[in-house]
């Protein structure tokens, strides 16, 4: 009975593994191709995101296949080894995907942070924003402050902090 349940769950875990492997390789490629300020100094090696992701996915599949082989041995030791190996590589895949999403999110927020305004100056009726975009020359934007009492009070409170 236990072997039939495990044999039913193996294809489900296999589909999960294929989808996660494809997603992890795509995230590694996106992180590797993400524009950086020092693009000309960047080196492509085994430590680059796409290469290390390929190595991680290869190790994942090797351990996954060893786990399937151990499950099919029908011994107590094989059953324990197979379940442990498959569970461990699934946790590894979740961790790798989470880490890749976190890295990509951090890189995107860092690039957006560079494009945010650096300084706001002006009188109480007019706000002048001097921004420093990451790839273009600084732009100066001028806009009139709204004549609403509530908006004016909120802007005055924010300026005091």
Which H helix or E strand runs over 151?
helix 149-160
pLDDT of residue 86: 92
pLDDT of residue 15: 92
Q: How many domains does the chain have?
A: 1
The answer to whether residue 72 is domain-embedded is yes
pLDDT of residue 128: 56
The answer to whether residue 140 is domain-embedded is no
The answer to whether residue 43 is domain-embedded is no
pLDDT of residue 6: 79
The answer to whether residue 104 is domain-embedded is yes
pLDDT of residue 32: 82
List, in sequence order, every residue forming a beta bridge with 141; answer none if it has no partner.
129
CA distance 128 to 141: 6
| Structural domain harbouring 101 | 1-33+49-110
The answer to whether residue 65 is domain-embedded is yes
The answer to whether residue 67 is domain-embedded is yes
The answer to whether residue 71 is domain-embedded is yes
CA distance 100 to 157: 39
Q: What is the mean pLDDT of each run of 10 residues along the chain (161 residues)?
A: 77 91 90 69 70 92 93 88 92 91 83 56 56 53 60 67 53
Say if residue 63 is exposed, middle or buried (CB neighbours under 10 Å; 0-12, 13-18, 19+): middle
């Amino acid at each position: 009975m236990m072997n039939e349940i495990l044999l039913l769950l193996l294809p489900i875990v296999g589909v999960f593994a294929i989808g996660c492997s494809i997603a992890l390789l795509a995230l590694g490629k996106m992180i590797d191709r993400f524009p950086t300020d020092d693009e000309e100094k960047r080196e492509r090696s085994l430590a680059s995101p796409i290469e290390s992701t390929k190595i991680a996915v290869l190790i994942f599949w090797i351990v996954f296949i060893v786990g399937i082989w151990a499950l099919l041995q029908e011994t107590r030791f094989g059953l324990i080894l197979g379940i442990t190996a498959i569970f461990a590589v699934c946790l590894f895949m979740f961790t790798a995907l989470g880490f890749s999403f976190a890295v990509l999110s951090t890189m995107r927020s860092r690039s957006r942070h560079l494009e945010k305004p650096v300084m706001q100056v002006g009188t109480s009726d007019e706000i002048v924003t001097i921004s420093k975009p990451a790839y273009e020359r600084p732009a100066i934007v001028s806009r009139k402050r709204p004549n609403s009492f509530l908006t004016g009070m909120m802007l005055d409170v924010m300026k005091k902090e």
